[in-house]
């Protein structure tokens, strides 16, 4: 196949939602349709051995939540799908933000009982920053949920995006009969006990008496009234409006029952964008350019507990990636040879000889790569938009076993390079402080340090309001500032200078007193 053909058959997307909306369950069902797995795993009970394929870390199996982004590739109807399942929990939001830089579109899962929740709003803000196309799947229709029209209004109001339903539920909860596809003009009947999916019944005319026979007269009349209202209130679905991130098509279903998922997937592969152009420091790179480029958006150590390895997740943006080739590492300004490259099915991997724009490949790394790195065939362009944000909670790391100092150093370094959290080392005394978005991250770090590096730590809360990266065009003024605030100066894992502010008021006062110093709340400046 030509480069253009390879690009046209790829769809790379992320699944995002608030915790417990059914995101990982939907991921499992999509994998089932792609033939990637034979049966879906359970994400809730630690008693069940078949855990969700995308939740493979030990702590995820114990807690029943996703704490790391999983990458899964599979084929469906001759379309290569690259699916990234993200953590829903807000304490791991930064991993999700970074993942959203590597996708071309997003499926957002919303619980029909709870509606739009806080984390969903935050994730939507990140999508809007990049005008990422968003498709909504309203889940759990087999439960007594809220009125579908109320849910659509809430999505428009809270997520600040227009919606257009492409399927519509017939009743819900115990009376749930199925969904009518407004896009396909067909009816899909719901049978709770069935795990197989049958093709829909074509209903060319919604006034066809066959509809009454299939769902009952009352349900049929309600559906006709709803469809009439939808067609009157919402404009016709415009694919370009969706691709520009202005309209979100909406589907209804029940992921746990395998219902409504096929309609979602069938429509998605038709309307979702193939790999898109991306911005670098020098220019915009088109996917169909002959020369390879890509960037690292995630790093994960110890995916295989039996082999202590480190894998960098690379999103291919243009050209063809060929295993065994030398590529230019822009930050190090040197060529590196990548002889080991893998494709993912969560933690299961297989060697790939070549990959194309939109694909995610895993590269075995000995410490050369970090999040945000760009690889090219010689061009010195750097892909932009993968910053570290100032954390919200700070705790000092205390080593509980002096004999394991080396293991702790290695563990902290590798976990921080994964982007699990941020490490700040004070200039005076070399005190180490970890900064995170949410407290649950400390549990994960503690758990992984113990289980993967045999290092035991304790975390002690610190009175810190913000970590501010600092810079100044005047080197002398910057040195004067460092000298006067030495007790509050630290460096991040990359050696960048950081001012650790103890309160909002104090930070404001320091900013006023040192006008020549620039204070940055992200590391990308």
Q: Cβ neighbours of residue 438 under 8 Å, at least 6 residues apart? A: 89, 90, 91, 92, 93, 392, 393
As a whole number, mean pLDDT of residues 17-40 equals: 74
Give the three-state DSSP class for 516. Answer: coil
* 433-454 confidence digits (pLDDT tens): 999 877 888 988 999 899 889 9
Write down all domains in the chain, each with its CATH number in brackets. 3-271 (3.40.50.300), 278-376 (3.40.50.300), 393-520 (3.30.70.3280)
Alpha-carbon distances, residue 524 vs 316, 387, 391, 498, 520 (angstroms): 22, 5, 14, 13, 8
Q: Give me the pLDDT at residue 299, please.
A: 81
Q: Give me the pLDDT at residue 194, please.
A: 55
Q: Supply the DSSP symbol for 230.
A: H
* 171-224 confidence digits (pLDDT tens): 989 889 988 888 888 888 888 765 555 566 777 778 888 888 888 999 999 999
Residue 50 pLDDT greater than 50, yes or no:
no
In the block, residue with structure tokens 């009970």: 45
Residue 77 pLDDT greater than 60, yes or no:
yes
The more confidently predicted of residues 345 and 374 is 374
Residue 408 pLDDT greater than 90, yes or no:
yes
As a whole number, mean pLDDT of residues 109-127 equals: 86
Give the three-state DSSP class for 168. Answer: strand
- Residue 483: how many other CB atoms lie within 10 Å: 9
What sections of 18-117 are H helices per DSSP?
23-33, 58-63, 93-100
Reported confidence tier of residue 311, pLDDT bands at 50, 70, 90:
confident
Closest CA to 419 of 54, 101, 20: 101
Q: Cβ neighbours of residue 357 under 8 Å, at least 6 residues apart? A: 3, 6, 7, 10, 275, 287, 288, 316, 317, 318, 319
Reported confidence tier of residue 53, pLDDT bands at 50, 70, 90:
very low
Instruction: Look over the chain and give the mean of its residue pLDDT values, rounded to a whole number.
Output: 85
CA angle (368 as vertex; 365, 371 as ends), nearest 5: 85
As a whole number, mean pLDDT of residues 380-384 equals: 91
Which of 116-120, 302-306, 370-374 has the weakest average pLDDT? 302-306
Q: Give me the pLDDT at residue 51, please.
A: 43
* 409-423 confidence digits (pLDDT tens): 999 988 887 777 899
What is the pTM (predicted TM-score) of this model? Answer: 0.77
As a whole number, mean pLDDT of residues 40-62 equals: 41
Q: Give me the pLDDT at residue 477, please.
A: 95
Query: Quick one: 5 exposed, middle or buried, by C-beta within 10 A (0-12, 13-18, 19+)?
Result: exposed
Distance of alpha carbon 302 from its chain centroid, rounded? 20
Residue 255 pLDDT greater than 80, yes or no:
yes
DSSP result, 324-389: T-EEEETTTTEEEE---EEEEETTEEEE-SEE-TT-EEEEE-SS---TT-EEESS----B---PPB
As a whole number, mean pLDDT of residues 27-32 equals: 83
As a whole number, mean pLDDT of residues 332-337 equals: 92
* Helix 93-100 vs helix 118-129: crossing angle, to nearest 10: 30
* Length of the chain as a residue count: 525
Give the three-state DSSP class for 83. Answer: strand
Closest CA to 147 of 120, 168, 124: 168
């Amino acid at each position: 196949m030509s480069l253009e053909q390879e690009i046209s058959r790829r769809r790379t997307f992320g699944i995002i939602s608030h915790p417990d909306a059914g995101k990982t369950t939907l991921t499992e069902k999509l994998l089932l349709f792609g033939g990637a797995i034979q049966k879906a795993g359970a994400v809730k009970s630690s008693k069940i051995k078949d855990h969700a394929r995308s939740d493979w870390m030990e702590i995820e199996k114990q807690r029943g939540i996703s704490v790391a982004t999983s990458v899964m590739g599979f084929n469906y109807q001759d379309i290569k799908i690259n699916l990234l399942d993200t953590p829903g929990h807000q304490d791991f939001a930064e991993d999700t933000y970074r993942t959203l830089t590597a996708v071309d579109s997003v499926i957002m899962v919303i619980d029909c009982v709870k509606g739009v929740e806080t984390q969903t709003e935050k994730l939507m803000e990140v999508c809007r920053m990049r005008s990422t196309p968003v498709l909504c799947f309203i889940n759990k229709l087999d439960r007594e949920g809220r009125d579908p029209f109320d849910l659509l209004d809430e999505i428009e109001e809270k997520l600040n995006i227009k919606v257009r339903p492409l399927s519509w539920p017939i009743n819900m909860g115990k009376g749930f009969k199925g969904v009518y596809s407004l896009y396909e003009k067909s009816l899909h009947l719901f049978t709770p006990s069935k795990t197989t999916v049958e093709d829909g019944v074509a209903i060319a005319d919604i006034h066809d008496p066959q509809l009454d026979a299939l769902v009952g007269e009352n349900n049929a009349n309600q559906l006709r009234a709803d469809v009439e209202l939808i067609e009157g209130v919402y404009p016709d679905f415009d694919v370009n409006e969706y691709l520009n991130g202005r309209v979100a098509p909406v589907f209804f279903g029940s992921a746990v029952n395998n219902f409504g998922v096929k309609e979602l997937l069938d429509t998605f592969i038709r309307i979702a964008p193939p790999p898109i152009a991306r911005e670098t420091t020098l220019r915009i790179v088109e996917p169909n350019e002959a020369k390879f480029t890509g960037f690292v958006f995630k790093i994960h150590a110890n995916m295989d507990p039996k082999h202590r390895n480190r894998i960098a997740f690379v999103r291919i943006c243009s050209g063809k990636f060929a295993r065994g080739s030398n590529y230019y590492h822009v930050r190090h300004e040197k060529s590196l040879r990548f002889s080991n490259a893998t494709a993912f099915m969560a933690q299961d991997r297989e060697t790939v000889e070549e990959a194309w724009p939109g694909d995610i490949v895993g590269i075995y790394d000995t410490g050369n790569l970090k999040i945000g790195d760009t690889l090219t065939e010689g061009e010195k362009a750097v892909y932009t938009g993968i910053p570290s944000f100032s954390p919200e909670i700070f705790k000092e790391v205390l080593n509980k076993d002096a004999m394991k100092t080396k293991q702790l150093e290695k563990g902290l370094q590798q976990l921080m390079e994964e982007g699990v959290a941020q490490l700040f080392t004070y200039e005076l005394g070399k005190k180490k402080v970890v900064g995170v978005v949410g407290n649950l991250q400390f549990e994960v770090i503690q758990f992984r340090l113990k289980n993967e590096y045999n290092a035991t730590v304790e975390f002690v809360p610190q009175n810190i309001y913000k970590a501010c990266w600092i810079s100044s065009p005047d080197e002398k003024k910057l040195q004067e500032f460092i000298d006067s605030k030495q007790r509050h100066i630290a460096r991040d894992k990359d050696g960048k200078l950081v001012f650790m502010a103890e309160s909002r008021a104090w930070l404001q006062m320091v900013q006023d007193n040192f006008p020549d110093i620039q204070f940055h709340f992200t590391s990308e400046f």
